[in-house]
Amino acid sequence: MINQANLPIPAGWKLFFRELYRRVQQQINSPWTKVVFLFALTIIVTRKELSMSISINGGDFFALNETSVFKDMTDGPIITGAQSAGALGGAEAKLTSYSAPKREWTEKQKKQLAYVDLYKLTALAEMETHRIPASITLAQGLLESGTGRSTLARKNNNHFGIKCFSKKCRKGHCSNHSDDHHKDFFRNFDSPEESYRAHSQVLLKSRYKPLFDLSITDYKGWSHGLRKAGYATDPRYGDKLIRMIEDLELWRYDRL
């Protein structure tokens, strides 16, 4: 009996498969095939990136909404660490229920509002937890960090100029940006949000205790109180905070 596995392949089939292989290989190596493949690949990748960008930015992919600083925030920074889920949930609920009046903003204000948009949820969560007005936190962040562009903000994630007075710093705890004097060492943070939470801890110190007797909506009292308590040496520090709060209407956050 003939073993079927060893049957010879007819010469006609051999020629057919050889010709088929040659044509497939010729088509694959064709410049037009490569062009079509690259074009299709580009379309697929572009559509995925566009879809991802629209999803991340909530539909505001092509322009900054001038009033977005007071609208719902669903893509804000994720708060971790000491913040409780209750504070975060309360902050999100307040933003969801708030609608701001329309207004024209200058280019400078748009940049400042873009900064506020990044950290407003963190500021509201701190207000929910510690009763520090969100307007004060945001105005100080803007002022101290140069709208997030200062060296400390960019390299240390330190948006409030928080210094390090510990004489037993572990590696990476702080860094120096001027000279070797210990008072010129500033804290390093893993994220800007962490520096926002550290800022609240600074204001919870005894020297600022009288501020918490003020109304949470009294941003003027808080601003001048910070200056009097020695938060900054600039005699106009309180006035600068007030001007920032009123210029950007940050006081609206305190009333949520």
Is 106 a domain residue? yes
Instruction: Please give the Cα distance from 150 to 123 (Å, whole number).
Output: 20
Instruction: Please give the Cα distance from 181 to 70 (Å, whole number).
Output: 42
Q: Does residue 129 sit in the same domain as residue 239?
A: yes
Q: Does residue 39 sit in the same domain as residue 89?
A: no
Q: Does residue 135 sit in the same domain as residue 212?
A: yes
256 residues of the chain, pLDDT tens digit each: 555 555 566 766 667 777 777 776 777 776 776 667 777 766 665 554 434 333 333 333 333 333 333 333 333 333 344 445 566 677 777 787 666 647 899 999 999 999 999 999 999 999 999 999 999 999 999 999 999 999 999 999 999 988 886 556 665 556 665 544 455 788 899 999 999 999 999 999 999 999 999 999 999 999 999 999 999 999 999 999 999 999 999 999 999 8
| Pick from 250, 253, 248, 256: nearest CA to 110 | 248
Distance (Å) of CA 56 to CA 46, 48, 76, 225, 240: 15, 12, 10, 39, 34
Q: Does residue 85 sit in the same domain as residue 176?
A: yes
What's the number of domains the chain is made of?
2
Is 196 a domain residue? yes
Token duo for residue 233: 């040496």
pLDDT the model gives residue 15: 75
Task: Write down the residue that tokens 């600083």 correspond to.
Answer: 69
Is 242 a domain residue? yes
Domain that holds residue 18: 11-53
Is 67 a domain residue? no
Q: Does residue 47 sit in the same domain as residue 78?
A: no
Q: Does residue 150 sit in the same domain as residue 25?
A: no
| Pick from 130, 177, 180: nearest CA to 158 | 177
Q: Does residue 158 sit in the same domain as residue 197?
A: yes
Is 59 a domain residue? no
pLDDT the model gives residue 180: 45
Whether pTM exceeds 0.85? no
Q: Does residue 157 sit in the same domain as residue 219?
A: yes
Q: Does residue 30 sit in the same domain as residue 86?
A: no
| Strand segments (E) across the chain | 174-176, 185-187
Q: Does residue 26 sit in the same domain as residue 149?
A: no
Task: Write down the residue that tokens 């140069």 correspond to.
Answer: 146
Is 58 a domain residue? no
Is 111 a domain residue? yes
